[in-house]
Structure 1
Amino acid sequence: MTRDMIRLFKVKEKQRELAENANGASHVKKQSAGELRLHKDISELNLPKSCNISFPNGKDELMNFEVTIRPDEGFYSGGTFSFTFQVAPIYPHEAPKVKCKTKVYHPNIDLEGNVCLNILREDWKPVLNINTVIYGLYHLFTEPNYEDPLNHDAAAVLRDNPKMFESNVRRAMAGGYVGQTLFPRCI
């Protein structure tokens, strides 16, 4: 392409921009590839009835959202657990950053809200999506995994004494102490 043609394209682009602004059309922010993919993922969500997604900063800020999970089976049945998602502009080439906002007694979630889920770490692949992550989080509540723990104490109790683990979960969800840790009521 010659320099004159490039200059002509730039002039045409500038004229089109000026015309749009003159007509009161607001300038649309270009979306990153990650935002476009995330928009597609969200539009195709097929969540279980026990999971809900919300956008506390409005639909204009898709890259940060919250997911609430209310398990209807297993140890955590009846509880409500909230997660924040932060999605990088290079998504899906990087997994979303997920934190649990609800303090929970769980072998795969530590007391700071860090989540141990393989697809958020070493097993992440760009073919995975937000739907997959939410189902993975839901699965942590229906099938907690003591073999890959963040909370080693909870994992040991689940492995060695499932009845005591169940009792600890119920006490924590009701807003009680497990050991030295006080948990907020989430049922």
Structure 2
Amino acid sequence: MLKIWSMKKEQQKAENAEGAAGGKKKKVTAAQLRVQKDLSELSLGNTMKTEFPDPDDILSFILYVEPDEGMYKDGKFSFTFNITPSFPHEPPKVQCREKIYHPNIDLEGKVCLNILREDWKPVLNLNAVIVGLQFLFLEPNASDPLNKEAAEDLRANREGFKRNVKISMSGGTVKGETFDDVRRPR
């Protein structure tokens, strides 16, 4: 990972080269600097990792979450993070790439996490979002659902919900919906 100062030095080198050539210069934005700082402070542990499909674009990346406890244990889930130039004044856009059975993630992958909506504040960082995602797998929240059927299932019959999570994680069908197989290879 590049450090903030090395990004600044690269920018200055590019500006000097562009200036000599008479071209346009590409500036490092405030959002890029903040994301770089947030990424350098991440503590992902062994259950999460990031991937940057375009190494030159730190505002778009993939987070992989592999819960090692809870109902979603042994699953592998990936989330796209798209960060606008307005970051940190706007939250990152986060979406689950797999179709999963979860009260707080709908069938299109939209994530219901309060800090990604009304509770976002510029003092929050990417680590807060990642911890929030991790917590959704440990303790799904039936009182603030995006997938109302899964939430009702969790409220009405926790053991039945756990069975449905296992079925769905193996690519099975629950309540007429077929889900992606998200089990980690053993």
**TM-score (normalizing by structure 2):** 0.86
Q: Which runs of 5+ in 1 are unaligned?
A: 1-15
Deviation at residue 28 of structure 1 after TM alignment: 5.8
Q: What is the alpha-carbon root mean square deviation over aligned residues?
A: 2.1
**2:15 and 2:26 in contact (8 A); partners too:** no
Looking at CA atoms only, which structure, 1 or 2, has the larger radius of gyration?
A: 1
* 2:6 corresponds to: none
Q: Deviations over 1:47-95 (max 9, x none)?
A: 132111110112x101110001000111000000000000011100000
* 1:75 corresponds to: 71
Q: Which of 133, 141, 148 matches 1:145?
A: 141
Equivalent residue pairs, number: 170
Whole-angstrom CA distance in 2 between matches of 1:35 and 1:144: 32
**TM-score (normalizing by structure 1):** 0.85
Whole-angstrom CA distance in 2 between matches of 1:79 and 1:19: 48
Whole-angstrom CA distance in 1 between matches of 2:73 and 2:14: 55
Whole-angstrom CA distance in 1 between matches of 2:106 and 2:48: 21
Deviation at residue 179 of structure 1 after TM alignment: 1.2
Q: Which runs of 5+ in 2 are unaligned?
A: 1-12
Q: Does residue 133 in structure 1 map to residue 129 in structure 2?
A: yes
Aligned to 1:85, what secondary structure does the other structure show?
Answer: strand
Aligned to 2:89, what secondary structure does the other structure show?
Answer: coil
* 2:50 corresponds to: 53
Q: Which of 156, 172, 179 matches 2:175?
A: 179
Q: Deviations over 1:98-152 (max 9, x none)?
A: 0000110000000000000000001100111111101100100000000000000
Q: Does residue 98 in structure 1 map to residue 84 in structure 2?
A: no
Aligned to 2:27, what secondary structure does the other structure show?
Answer: coil
* 1:41 corresponds to: 38
Whole-angstrom CA distance in 2 between matches of 1:29 and 1:67: 27
